[in-house]
Structure 1
Amino acid sequence: MDLNALADFALVATHGGLGKASRASGKSKATLSRRIADLEEELGVRLIERGARGLKLTEAGQMLMTRTEGPMHEVAEAMTAAREGLAAPRGRLRIAAPSLFSHLAMGHICAQFCAAYPEVTIELVAEDRMVDLVEEQFDVAIRINPSPDTSLVGRCFAKDRLVVVAAPSVPMPKPRARAKGEATSVPAIVFSNFEPTHWTLDEGRLVIQPIPRLRLSSFLMIRDAAVTGAGAALLPQSIAWNQLTRGELVQWGTVSGVETALWVLHTSRRLPPPKVRAFVDFICDQYPEASLVLKG
């Protein structure tokens, strides 16, 4: 099979017509049409129906497109990699990352990465929604506890724990024998959408029933309100680390059975660009013990 003909078929199918494919590639419409006709002749089936409203893939054309799109990308990337060899990371690196992690850490990380790789420019978008890397043209996404996705690969670079903290002025409940499921009520600062629940700490050593006094919409506001003494708060340990170190907050315990993992992900192509490989290695190196304790 002529790979050029297959590539031109994919080009026309992707752009939805000969004219758009011609403008995008610089190839003439006659050349593209001839290549597709040759491919149809070789396979013995129609791949594209040509109508008054443009082109439409036949069932065979759709099947061919679905089965060959990924391998064709890999062939193109393999040829690029072979031409460039071990090329230095360069070009624009587009990253999507959760808002809170972006505000706390990504400014420093991105600046340090650009200093290490001066031919790379970074565009970071702080987004809490699940972006589509391919459709929205992101090179890398950072996600919290991501669900399995066969189209993405990556590495877990840091983990965090949920802890209950309060200012030293807020009395810490003393663990004592209680009936199963019974909790100690304490004034608390919670998220705006908080639903009644218990905080089970240190494998059941202490069970707390938070009584909301403040309902706030971000971890940073909750942390600052806790420092002021408004009540107990449930926070990622990394967000409260500096305040715990300075004695502005006291850790009452760790929530049992809950762990937050941050992953750096990219599309599952076998040949990621040098800039993507370099960034994945770089951000993992920032957390050598895989502990998400953000200092400073």
Structure 2
Amino acid sequence: MDTLTRIRAFIDVVEAEGFSAAARKVGRSKALLSKYVRELEDDLGALLLNRTTRQFSLTEAGHTYYRTASDILKEIDNLADLVREGSKDLKGRIRVSAPRTFADAAVGASLIDFAVAHPDVTLEIISDDRFVDLVEEGYDVAIRITRLEDSGLIARKLSPFTLVACASPEFLERHGPIEHPSRLAEVPCVVDTNGRFLNNWRFEEPDGSSYTVSVSGRLEVNSPLTAMRAAEAGLGVAFLPDFVFGERSGAGTLVPILENYMPKDRGIYAIYPHRRYLPAKVRAFVDYLTQWFKTHQ
């Protein structure tokens, strides 16, 4: 019996959280999966699963074996992808984490366009505003809008990115011109709680020095799209992603302010785990997004 088959059976059972669920998922009998796992345990001389009539749990050895075996199988599958990379017929599943702001805005069309271009690839998009753990949570790639920091992950810049401070023309008529960030402490602001610094908005002086301004207002929301609508309604100054503001730039409902003080060190990145053999489907996905942003600036 092929050892890899036994290992795959064990991983299928663990990830499906049971023999019956795994059997339904992979199209094999429960008895056959149980046989493979038992043979794997016999080969190792260690119990990997605690089995009872109604449930099972991983032993300590099972936890250790599962983590390492999962990584090994990913490398084997990735190596197979690499060998097939010359083929244009990409297949498989790509699990992507993307901020809701990205997925819901016009730039989210980049993900849809990739799916249209590669009909044999299943694109699983999980919209989540938190920074997921790619390795622990089983993601192939994440889209992040951020200042890039050192990590054990690989980053590919897809596009530059800036925030836009803006307000409605009516708001600026009531409160007067806002020509320096310090004025924001004196006027209502719409706080997007998805922002990394919450109500401490970061700016840069022309000499490159950085500082923050504490802002406040009657509305706090975890959605840039709602913050945009609130700013249009005159509730305050909003900090919006440039690709969200861009959807309204021609309407005249919002006016950009403080443009010379906005930081320029952010970007939209594709982040993926460091792997010896990066799957061809993931490489193709990142390459596609890079090109998409070049042609949709």
Give me the TM-score of the superposition, normalised by structure 1: 0.66
Distance 1:121 1:208, change over 3 A: closer
Q: Is contact 1:12-1:18 (8 Å) kept?
A: no
Q: CA RMSD in A?
A: 4.6
- Asked if residue 274 in structure 1 is aligned to residue 274 in structure 2, the reply is no
Partner Cα distance (1:242, 1:22) in 2: 45
Asked whether the 8 Å contact 1:47–1:57 carries over to 2, the reply is no
The offset of 1:164, in angstroms, is: 2.3
Question: Which amino acid in 1 is paired with 2:47?
Answer: I
Bigger strand fraction: 1
Cα deviation, 1:243-291, whole Å, max 9, x if unaligned, reads 44555413223445564322223343333443322211111112229xx
Give secondary structure in 2 for the equivalent of 1:48. coil
Which residues in structure 2 correspond to 1:102-251 (within 5 Å)? 102-133=103-134, 138-145=139-146, 148-150=150-152, 152-169=153-170, 170=172, 171-174=176-179, 185-191=185-191, 197=200, 200=203, 202-203=205-206, 212-217=216-221, 218-245=223-250, 247=252, 248-251=254-257
Identity %: 23
Does the 8 Å contact 1:163/1:236 carry over to 2?
yes
Paired residues in the alignment total 275
- 1:49-64 aligned within 5 A: none
Question: Cα offset for 1:9?
Answer: 5.4
Q: Quick check: which has more Rg, 1 or 2?
A: 1
Deviation of 1:119 (Å): 2.9
Structure-2 separation of matches of 1:7 and 1:77: 17
For 1:279, the aligned partner's letter is F
Q: How does 1:24-43 map to 2 (within 5 A)?
A: 33=38, 36-37=41-42, 39-40=43-44
Query: Cα gap change, 1:6/1:63 in structure 2, threshold over 3 Å: closer, same or farther?
Result: farther
User: Which residue matches 1:95?
Assistant: 96
2:141 and 2:155 map into 1 onto residues whose CA distance is 9
Q: Which amino acid aligns with 2:46?
A: L
> Is the 2:13–2:22 Cα contact (8 Å) retained in structure 1?
no
| Structure 1 residue 142 displacement after superposition | 1.4
CA-to-aligned-CA distance 1:78-119 (integer Å, 9 cap, x gap): 246546863512344443211111110354223322332233
C-alpha contact (below 8 Å) 2:231/2:237 kept by paired residues = yes
Q: Which residue matches 1:178?
A: none
1:226 and 1:232 in contact (8 A); partners too: yes
Q: Which amino acid aligns with 1:215?
A: L
Aligned partner (choices 1, 8, 24) of residue 6 of structure 2:
8
Normalising by structure 2, we get a TM-score of 0.66
Determine helix, strand or coil for the equivalent of 1:78.
Answer: helix
SS in 1 for 2:258: strand
Give the unaligned 5+ runs of structure 2: none
Change in CA separation of 1:32 and 1:87 when aligned onto 2, cut-off 3 Å: farther
SS in structure 1 at match of 2:161: strand
Distance 1:63 1:156, change over 3 A: same
- In 2: Cα distance, 1:117 partner to 1:56 partner: 38
What is the CA deviation profile of residues 123-178 of structure 1, one whole-angstrom value per residue up to 9, with x for unaligned ones? 4332223445566554432123376553x434121232233223345132456xxx
